[in-house]
Structure 1
């Protein structure tokens, strides 16, 4: 029998269409960003490439790379001598001059260029200098020379008579011993007390780290804040710059005391459960050449962009060249230094908008997504910010990073892996602008409560924010704080208990309501500038020629809030109680803000967060009886009322009464009933479900 051979028949295979790449996380969360996904991926890939370059293909970490402060600058060597190193590629000669050699060039103190690099080095015996000696660099270059303060210097002091700044040898006999060696910040929610060491005292002078620890830190703790944000830490030549024209990025300002005293302040705060973050200025640098980096070794572009991009003409300062490896090394090392050496818990990055755009974000409305991806963005700066966030959280996974950014660029506070820049929070900078506009331009009768609610909650769902009603910007000369806009000169004559007029009464009421509606709608944290919580009068004006170099307005007048005969303490007491009440809802940030009711005609709005219900009546003249809201069935107690006499209110309500919801058959399946309240005009209350 013959068998036929079976042959396999091949089926035609239809080629598969190439798989569409999955959207990056930022676009997944916001489909409106899809047209710009290529740009978002490009930025992310650029940062990934840079990380690979700096870590030698992952053989080391970003933290390893960002350790320049351990190499550059002045250090003790293993044998007790000294070693000094500086990056100065354009220099031809560098000498150390100072107290130790009569401020003269000497061969013994001449640095040598390390072969094949732009780095210079000098090794000296232990006897060559001592702790406390003043010194500078004498730098020479083709066609010029000049005295300079080292770029990586850790201590700079100013002579009281000559006003000249010098580097100082800082090597105390004993290193600071940390009492609280590890600390984890409380972030749910984050209540930030923005402060300035120098103007933190009542006296007309520059305050110190030690005075702040003794006199102000206890007020922060008592007020319920769990984080302080310290301004002006990095050394700056002009006190009146508020610390934003930095000259020496690794030096804590000697105006306020020693590095050890700053460490003691941070250590003490940690022992009390208070996180400490600093204003980090990497957006620009002071122009000064002797004190700063403006023309370090005859090359004005060593640290800064060339051409038109070198100067920020609005700030009278210089812009870093974020695309240069050595500058990236300098700035990333600076981030790690403050975390490692001083145990700071993170940073509020200043001037991020200025960094992101070639035009610094000036004169642009940012009306649509296209404005963030139109080619006017500085990819080098964007890459730096992404790497800074990666590094900071690598050094301390619990660190806090906040971006001061006003353009609203998407992804700033989104995860790096999702295509974001990796900040933990962005400042909700539109909120204080909104309050200023409302107070200046609208009558109380025209305040729309839904508009208020919308402005407080208008944010990206994938980015956490820090909300605030006002910051130090509104307190400066030329502007006005909320309390001063509301009451103005009547604060001088009608802020004593019993002497309040209608203007003062209105101001006290709205000051509390504005803060409560701002703080209760946060999705990350709330910020207050030192003294604003109790309505500090007047403005901030640092010593300058125009005011006779006076410290009268460069301080905080704590005596006002401590005087129980004045109205200020009502506002301070309310602020502390407000934070206490917000902490009643555990996992506050994870609890959504849910609108219950709004009526623009009545100017009444109510919303809930978990078991807390917030009710606001912005109506300046109408009080409402038995005003009803549908809420979950149960009993509710008043835990805060702006109208309470303890906070300068009229006491129109009996806050001891328990409010029981009223049955309504229509809402049985929703488990809701009517909560009926008496709501006085221009007041707010918070109720908690029993």
Structure 2
């Protein structure tokens, strides 16, 4: 490698394809990341790197690098006619060298900017890009990718997500920053998740971000996997290993806003380029960030190409879109006078809505079987309905209402729960309006909210029993499942991104019991079609009894056309209820397939001895009934044999 300051070769003009420029102007260049940014190139002068950046209002743009002493003007890019793009070729530039763009802005002054299309970056706190390439990894997941295409969307499959913040899942030592690498995670996280039976890992944002405490939600480099854990090829390896072990990978993605750092996208050429100039449209008051200008074709193309990049170049299986509500409402978190109505006088952000619809259409068209997931916290209709029916086109929507109501119910002392049973039953009024995911995410166990188990009332035994009951209720309820790391073994302390999980708790039987229960729930969820095949359809659910407020007991059936029904009974009090009658249609023996009070899970082993015979007498509108023992603060599930 050359010594810093030795590369004095000029930046030579380089041609960009007319079709590339046309598609970019239309906002429809799906491989834009192969045109803009820095890419290996062979010219008459030898091999090197070709650079291109969109800065239509800049006076000049040059490449500054550790090879030219970071001096603006030495290697100037050339304007590409009628495109707003500056481009050039530097012979002798090598992979791994650091670079930035020195942008002489519209109103004067030169600002060093990070490459918006950087494929790799230096380790924080540095923000320079590393010259990299896209084609240095050989994939070994052809079988997985083919099966995903053939199966299509997993709407009727057993799906459970394990949400992970890789910087705090495990550490190599007690020293902050001793993160597991992508390769370490391939060796440890993947078998752990596979053993617990989760079908997917959902990673919090892995795009490069300068501040650890932002957890990736203030993205600095949209096309560069964070260097905290290794190289882009090592992230590909991690995803490849996931696929070879039958585990899908979802990435959190943040198209709603971006940081105001002077080196970033904001005021890139001295104007509101990626963001609106007007702060009523271009700034987020809560987060102190810029909002993308979704009206601009080139900005829309930046986001669409970025989403497709993760699917095409990293083989991910889905994107979870953060803060969708903040995108589709112009008045989101704004007072009167702080926002501008759309052309019809409404509060809907029409450009953002159209971006979501086009994004979902293009992803589903290009990558059959891939999931698009919305974190949308309002009652917007049709989030997970097809675009051709007027929906936003997402595959799934997070069910925030279920999460809030259920956590609030479980936080109450059991003596009061009978007065709030509607918090459990209300969700069934809208459970099939969308394709829902039931989320217990990182947001519920941080910022003073406490750990999941700390929300449960009672002494330590009751808290553990309540946690097991909560998890069983979550898995039994219609909808796909998402559980944040640490909740699967009952971590006591609130999640802190600067500390690893309390793995020492796995030495205690009660915590191992919670983990065993999660494994059992995933197995039941997968093995019984009635537990997942009709997640999005009323025909997959039937109340048996939702009216026993006095006992704080509810019972329901999960059903499917291809499997035996599963009867669930939940006792939300610490009182053992013996000879509790539950109506059923099918005579004969009903086998107990789940009992959260089992000693295996840390319970008292109260229950039904493995199953019960249906009584032939009618019970209410049911031709038969089961006489059950309902353990304290526990769920039991049965299926007929």
Q: Does TM-score exceed 0.5, indicating one fold?
A: yes
Q: 2:307 and 2:640 mapped to 1: Cα distance?
A: 45
Describe the shift of the 1:432–1:55 C-alpha distance in structure 2 as closer, same or farther (beyond 3 A): farther
Q: Distance in 2 between matches of 1:481 and 1:431?
A: 18
Any residues of structure 2 matched to 1:151-190 within 5 Å, and which?
151-158=116-123, 163-171=125-133, 175-181=136-142, 182-183=144-145, 184-185=147-148, 188-190=157-159
Q: How far apart in 2 are the matches of 1:404 and 1:484?
A: 25
Which of 657, 660, 663 aligns to 2:616? It is 663
Alignment of 1:26-175 (within 5 A): 65-77=29-41, 80-107=47-74, 109-125=75-91, 127=92, 129-141=93-105, 142-158=107-123, 163-171=125-133, 175=136
Deviation (angstroms), 1:106: 4.8
Give the equivalent residue in structure 2 for 1:632. Answer: 586
CA contact (8 A) 1:449 1:604 kept: no
How far apart are residue 374 of structure 1 and its match?
Answer: 7.8
**CA offsets, 1:655-684, max 9 Å, x none?**
33x4221113689xx883111111123221
Paired position in structure 1 for 2:607: 653
Distance change >3 Å, CA 593–CA 97, structure 1 → 2 = same
User: Which residue of the partner structure matches residue 8 of structure 2?
Assistant: none
SS in 1 for 2:228: helix
**Residue 680 (structure 1) aligns with:** 631
**In the aligned structure 2, how far is the partner of 1:153 from the partner of 1:284?**
18
Q: Which has the larger radius of gyration?
A: 1
Provide the C-alpha distance between the structure 2 equivalents of 1:626 and 1:532, rounded to a whole number of angstroms.
31
Q: How many residues align?
A: 588
Distance 1:642 1:267 in 2: 35
- Asked if 2 retains the 8 angstrom alpha-carbon contact of 1:145 and 1:298, the reply is no
* 1:149–1:166 Cα contact (<8 Å) kept: yes
Residue of structure 2 in register with 1:609 after alignment:
558
Deviation of the 1:601 alpha carbon: 1.1
* Cα displacement (A) at 1:476: 1.3
Q: What SS does structure 2 have at the residue aligned with 1:116?
A: coil
Query: Structure 1 residues 483, 144: closer, same or farther in 2, change over 3 A?
Result: same
Aligned-pair CA distance for 1:594? 0.6
Deviation at 1:527, TM superposition (A): 0.4
State how far apart, in whole Å, the 1-side matches of 2:72 and 2:31 are.
30
TM-score, normalized by length of structure 1? 0.81
Q: How does 1:421-460 map to 2 (within 5 A)?
A: 421-440=392-411, 443-447=414-418, 450-459=421-430
> Aligned with 2:122: secondary structure?
strand
Q: Following superposition of structure 1 onto structure 2, how do residues 559-578 of structure 1 map, counting pairs within 5 Å?
A: 559-561=504-506, 563=507, 565-578=508-521
Q: Which moved further from structure 2: 402-411 or 455-464?
A: 455-464
Tell me the secondary structure at the aligned position of residue 77 of structure 1: strand
- Out of 243, 246, 249, the residue aligned to residue 219 of structure 2 is 246
CA separation in 2, counterparts of 1:229 and 1:221? Answer: 13
Please report how far the alpha carbon of residue 442 of structure 1 lies from its aligned counterpart in structure 2 after TM superposition.
Answer: 5.4
Shift of 1:228: 0.8
Separation in 2, partners of 1:312, 1:442: 39
- Find the aligned partners of 1:167 and 1:628 in 2 and give their Cα distance: 64
Alpha-carbon distance change, 239 to 626 in structure 1, aligned in 2, over 3 angstroms: closer
Describe how 1:470-485 pairs up with structure 2 within 5 A: 470-485=440-455
Rate the CA distance shift 1:441–1:616 in 2: closer, same or farther, 3 A. closer
For 2:632 and 2:619, how far apart are their aligned partners in 1? 30
1:363, CA displacement in angstroms? 8.3
Equivalent residue for 2:533, pick from 589, 596, 615: 589
SS at match of 2:308: helix
Mapping of residues 269-348 of structure 1, within 5 Å? 269-290=242-263, 292-304=264-276, 306-348=278-320
- Give the aligned partner of residue 558 of structure 1: 503
- Residues in 2 aligned to 1:541 and 1:265: alpha-carbon distance in whole angstroms: 24
1:418 is the counterpart of 2:389: yes
Mind listing any 5+ residue stretches in structure 2 that lack a counterpart? 1-18, 149-153, 337-343, 560-564
Change (3 A) 1:627 1:666: closer
Task: Provide, for residues 168-227 of structure 1, a one-character-per-residue CA deviation record: whole Å limited to 9, x for no partner.
Answer: 11249x711001135245551211111111111144433321222112221111111001
Q: 1:450, 1:600 within 8 Å by CA — same for their partners in 2?
A: yes
Q: Secondary structure at the match of 1:402?
A: strand
Counterparts in 2 of 1:427 and 1:666: CA distance versus 1, 3 Å: closer
Q: For the residues of structure 2 that align with 1:207 and 1:195, how far apart are their CA atoms?
A: 12
DSSP 3-state at the match of 2:71: coil
Distance in 2, matches of 1:191 and 1:255, equals 27
Give the C-alpha shift of residue 627 in structure 1: 2.6
Root mean square deviation of aligned Cα: 2.6
* Contact map agreement 1:358 1:376 (CA 8 A) in 2: yes
Moved more, 512-521 or 375-384: 512-521
- Secondary structure class of the residue paired with 1:278: strand
Residue 264 (1) aligns with residue 242 (2): no
Q: The residue matched to 1:250 in structure 2 has which SS?
A: strand
Report deviation, 1:457. Answer: 2.5
Aligned-pair CA distance for 1:430: 1.5
Partner of 1:17: none
Equivalent residue number for residue 383 of structure 1: 354
Rounded to whole Å, the distance in 1 between the matches of 2:132 and 2:468 is: 47
Is 1:643 the equivalent of 2:608? no
Q: Distance in 1 between matches of 2:572 and 2:51?
A: 63
Matches within 5 A, 1:398-547: 398-440=369-411, 443-447=414-418, 450-459=421-430, 461-468=432-439, 470-486=440-456, 503-523=459-479, 525-542=480-497
Quick one: structure 1 residues 681 and 539, their matched pair in 2 at CA, closer, same or farther if it must change by over 3 Å? Answer: closer
CA distance in 2, matches of 1:566, 1:556: 17
Distance of aligned partners of 1:196 and 1:296 in 2 relative to their CA distance in 1, 3 Å threshold: same
> What is the alpha-carbon distance in structure 1 between the residues aligned to residue 283 and residue 275 of structure 2?
12
State the Cα deviation string for residues 15-45 of structure 1 (Å, max 9, x = none): xxxxxxxxxxxxxxxxxxxxxxxxxxxxxxx
Compute the displacement of 1:622 (Å): 4.7
C-alpha distance in structure 2 between counterparts of 1:374 and 1:86, whole Å: 36
Q: CA separation in 2, counterparts of 1:651 and 1:218?
A: 30
Distance 1:328 1:196 in 2: 28
Cα 1:281–1:688, aligned 2, differ >3 Å: closer, same or farther? Answer: same
How far did residue 77 of structure 1 move? Answer: 2.5
Alpha carbons 1:486, 1:503 under 8 Å: kept: no
2:59 counterpart SS class: strand
Distance 2:526 2:494 in 1: 31
Label 1:441 to 1:625 Cα distance change in 2 as closer, same or farther (>3 A): closer
Report the alpha carbon displacement of residue 573 of structure 1 after superposing the two structures with TM.
0.6
